[in-house]
Amino acid sequence: MINCLRLLFIFLFLPLSLLAEEQPWQVFKSTHFLVFYKGAKEPQLNELTERAEEYYNKITDDLGFARFNFWTWDDRAKIYLSDSQEEYRQLTGDPDWSAGHAQAGSKLIYTFITAPGFLDNVLAHEMAHIIFREMVGFNNPAVPLWLDEGVASFQEKKFSFVKADLADRIRQGDFLSLEDLGKVDVANLTETGRAELFYAESFSLVRYLIDTFGKDRFVLFCQNLRDYKDLRRALALTYSFGSLAEFESSWKKYILQ
Ligand SMILES: [Zn+2]
């Protein structure tokens, strides 16, 4: 009897669920983007591509890329806009706290319609990952994860960061040193609190460099990283930091002041 019920259940529901999974992606195009979607409506897609085009201009400008015209025609970036977080997680395998995912080398962005802060934060964050990597090199081993994430978080419109909170944690010794940051693996960062601290510090390191020394110098830093593939050397050449420890203590002073 149980087997029959199970068979009936499979017969009734499996075709439906397969149909749902097989709903094809449709494509919405703009100058620099192809948006693959299923349930999104046209006004949502218009707003999404308008914002994406705005971020494209701002981020390429911020990273000193503005004079090149790329990401057009066959070279457009692809955004996969899932209808649900569940579908997004199946596509990316990301942890619960993740709302966006970029594959820089193939210019792919994954996200979902209901992702919190999707237009203000996620979109800009993931696009910055791709543009930054195009700038410093996709397989450049000198680029630490904190820098990748710091640059991406810096482009978010509403990155939640409270300097005083980070200052407290530094005073209490409850923070990640530069060396610790270098060992973080985002895929294994399943604990939300730890992920928040990692992103807050990454963001603040980039903000410290840009606030203190300016945007042009940061572009030069990225160029040095690209050309020399050596973080210490790029920091020394651009900012005259004698060592990573000197960079770290100078950042801590900025946070604590
Ligand atoms: Zn990121």
Structure tokens at 239: 């900012």
Domains of the chain, each with CATH number or no CATH: 25-138 (3.40.30.160), 140-257 (1.10.390)
Query: What pTM, to 2 d.p., does this model score?
Result: 0.85
- pLDDT of 65 > 80? The answer is no
Sequence-ordered strand ranges (E) for the chain:
26-29, 33-37, 77-82, 100-103, 108-112
DSSP H helices, the chain, are 2-21, 42-62, 85-92, 123-136, 145-154, 163-171, 178-183, 192-213, 215-228, 231-239, 244-256
**Tokens 């020399």 — which residue?**
228
**Residues in contact with 250: Cβ distance below 8 Å, sequence separation at least 6, in sequence order:** 208, 241
Sequence-ordered strand ranges (E) for 38-152:
77-82, 100-103, 108-112
**Tokens 């259940």 — which residue?**
9
Structure tokens at 103: 């594959």
Name the β-bridge partners of 81.
37, 111
pLDDT tier at 66 (50, 70, 90 boundaries)?
Answer: low
Q: Rounded to the nearest whole angstrom, what is the distance from the C-alpha of residue 17 to the centroid of ligand 1?
A: 32
Q: Rounded to the nearest whole angstrom, what is the distance from the C-alpha of residue 125 to the centroid of ligand 1?
A: 6
Q: What is the CA radius of gyration of the chain?
A: 21
Mean pLDDT, residues 33-47 = 96
**Which pairs from 90-96 meet CB under 8 Å and 24+ separation?**
94/187, 95/187, 95/189, 95/190, 95/195, 96/190, 96/192
Selected residue with higher pLDDT from 63 and 131: 131
What are the tens digits of pLDDT across the range 192-224?
Answer: 778 889 999 999 999 999 999 999 999 999 999
**Exposed, middle or buried: residue 73 (CB in 10 Å: 0-12, 13-18, 19+)?**
exposed
**pLDDT at residue 168 in the model:** 95
**Residues in contact with 179: Cβ distance below 8 Å, sequence separation at least 6, in sequence order:** 244
Q: Rounded to the nearest whole angstrom, what is the distance from the C-alpha of residue 226 to the centroid of ligand 1?
A: 19
Q: Rounded to the nearest whole angstrom, what is the distance from the C-alpha of residue 180 to the centroid of ligand 1?
A: 18
Selected residue with higher pLDDT from 156 and 10: 156
Q: Rounded to the nearest whole angstrom, what is the distance from the C-alpha of residue 151 to the centroid of ligand 1?
A: 9
Q: Rounded to the nearest whole angstrom, what is the distance from the C-alpha of residue 148 to the centroid of ligand 1?
A: 7
- pLDDT of 17 > 70? The answer is no
Q: Rounded to the nearest whole angstrom, what is the distance from the C-alpha of residue 119 to the centroid of ligand 1?
A: 15
| Closest by CA position to 153, among listed 188, 201, 213 | 201
- pLDDT of 104 > 60? The answer is yes
Q: Rounded to the nearest whole angstrom, what is the distance from the C-alpha of residue 155 to the centroid of ligand 1?
A: 11
**pLDDT at residue 67 in the model:** 55
Cα–Cα distance measured from residue 98 to residue 88, given in angstroms and rounded to the nearest whole number: 10
**pLDDT at residue 68 in the model:** 60
Cα–Cα distance measured from residue 47 to residue 188, given in angstroms and rounded to the nearest whole number: 33
- pLDDT of 255 > 90? The answer is yes
Mean pLDDT, residues 223-239 = 97
Q: Rounded to the nearest whole angstrom, what is the distance from the C-alpha of residue 153 to the centroid of ligand 1?
A: 7
Q: Rounded to the nearest whole angstrom, what is the distance from the C-alpha of residue 247 to the centroid of ligand 1?
A: 22
Q: CA distances (Å), 128 to each of 14, 58, 89, 213, 254, in order?
A: 40, 10, 21, 20, 25
Cα–Cα distance measured from residue 203 to residue 125, given in angstroms and rounded to the nearest whole number: 11
Q: Rounded to the nearest whole angstrom, what is the distance from the C-alpha of residue 152 to the centroid of ligand 1?
A: 6
Cα–Cα distance measured from residue 181 to residue 173, given in angstroms and rounded to the nearest whole number: 14
- pLDDT of 5 > 60? The answer is no
The per-residue pLDDT of the chain, averaged, comes to 88
